[in-house]
Amino acid sequence: MAKRGRKSAAALEIAHAPGSIETIERPDAPYDLTDEQAEEWWAVVNRLPADWFPRETHAMLADYCRHVVKSRRISQLVNDAENAPEIDVGTLDKLYKMAERESRAISSLATRMRISQQATSTHRANKGTKGMRKPWES
């Protein structure tokens, strides 16, 4: 006869049969990414739980990695232009605009994939509750 009610903690801790354990693989970097972009892919994927990126987000993550690498290259060009003997204001302005576009794209993609600090932190939600009196404490 089956036992009625909730299962005990001990019953829940019993290991399942070896064949029933499901493993979740981390997604591989797409083959169309460069080596540097693939390194960024693995840096992001290895930092989060294995099931964080379902199949439908892989294209977005690949674009994120591309934008990060482009941003690094633009930053190098900005540094070179700023340290040049003669500063070409027009070129520098174009580079600044390119850097801003890449930063916006990175920020947007990171927020949508919930990998940015803003998307993953709960400190903003908890901020207003400290020190406030509850209505029944009056």
Q: What is the pLDDT of residues 16-53, one digit of tens each?
A: 555 566 788 899 999 999 999 999 999 999 999 989 99
Write the burial class of residue 136 (CB in 10 Å: 0-12 exposed, 13-18 middle, 19+ buried).
exposed
User: Which residues make Cβ contacts (< 8 Å) with residue 48, sequence separation at least 6?
Assistant: 115
Q: Where are the domains of the chain?
A: 57-116
pLDDT score recorded for residue 1: 57
User: Which residues make Cβ contacts (< 8 Å) with residue 75, sequence separation at least 6?
Assistant: 99
pLDDT score recorded for residue 104: 98
pTM over 0.75: no
pLDDT score recorded for residue 65: 98
**Residues of the chain below pLDDT 50:** none
pLDDT score recorded for residue 83: 93
pLDDT score recorded for residue 86: 92
pLDDT score recorded for residue 126: 59
Write the burial class of residue 74 (CB in 10 Å: 0-12 exposed, 13-18 middle, 19+ buried).
buried
Write the burial class of residue 64 (CB in 10 Å: 0-12 exposed, 13-18 middle, 19+ buried).
buried
